[in-house]
Structure 1
């Protein structure tokens, strides 16, 4: 798998640089894995966090440039610690031993070859809990195909429908085209959701959509795509937790909290379509309180 880093085209940026020689492309990732935090996370969707927590592993760097990113110190500013593939495999086992319901790979796209190698090792040492791929959705199909059989649950974002927003707020051209096709591949691999006796997801796709201020129409177009394509064979997680952070102050139209009436309107729209498999959020989520403290813990 590591040969994929010689001419890196893991994501739609297709930088074609040699990361084994530590050349850096758009995501600024070299040959080594870089992590910012390992933890048991209690604030994911209920079927992911459960009672024990989700075994989150936060990878540093990113192939997007969201102006409002709450994790900007690791996604854009490079905070983190480099580790080996062998150490990552140990972390997988340590998370399982802590009682995590799953391994939750957060922003993993640019480290897929290393992750696959680490999973191979961990499975020979007794890794049995589900593996989640927690992604921004900006993926290449060929990279996802390499993950087939290693990932049990896909947790992609579907951020934008209209490309003008993807470019303005995330510097990510053709986002919907790539993300929508990627989610189809994810569903092809893992199929309909399955849960254990305690309601913890074992297999399936949960599509996350974070509503942004003023983009109700764009959000409705995303919901239309999801329901038309998958009906109720996937779960949708519709989030109202947008908090203007990082460089959001440069964009007055999103430098504010979400209008909760718009959020309620989107929920009613989902119900009108016949959507039943969805997670929604209550009030009080627009806060920095839920932003992880990236302190290299567990690494």
Structure 2
């Protein structure tokens, strides 16, 4: 794979999306938010999810799927973040998620079907996306959102979680995803790699992925954006997304492509990089 620049001294606010910032502040001010956290995120819940995961998944390491482990190691170096555990879990639904709460050791889970869908560079972008949640301290809020998704179908919550609170948490999750797509870009340093992941998640399969056209998908993203030019289109888009945990893939692809071409991204890469294109110059180094 191409070599990447390592970003030294990188902080979350260097790449955090403005929507993420605003949504986080709004979430903290919601009545009932602290109660929901104390009720759902108990130490027993943390222990349960950790034990469930370690019992039913494969822990990646130097002696277990070492090529995937190296993707994690390199991504952590690029983002200047402490390395979490990484698990591979058998599941037919392509997905990856992060679990972190109360300062304990976080872990990332990647489903086998997602690994089968992506190439190594794309898989590392997904790992970078999940590391973005950890870099930005999304852990507690993200875990709360995941528990709410589970609780909605399996647990009686009563008055603990109001519909408004759940709606605001979903809105925060969607905004946080934009930030973590930026983390994925910082790891891959190629917007087409991140957009390709989103395309494959939207309509790919191990058999179809090689036939997909990324340029056509990005044109599709432009068409989706153009729907906002009239009031009805904007309303339909809002209705479509308000109950989702993630922004729609075409919107994410458009957003990350635009950020890749921005001065903010280029300046961040230039000022924080200590290595570039395999050349060693002054304070730059190979890895």
Please confirm whether the aligned pair reaches a TM-score higher than 0.5, indicating the same fold.
no
Structure of higher CA gyration radius: 2
Question: Greater relative contact order: 1 or 2 (C-alpha under 8 angstroms, separation 6 or more)?
Answer: 2
User: Where is the strand percentage greater, Structure 1 or Structure 2?
Assistant: 1
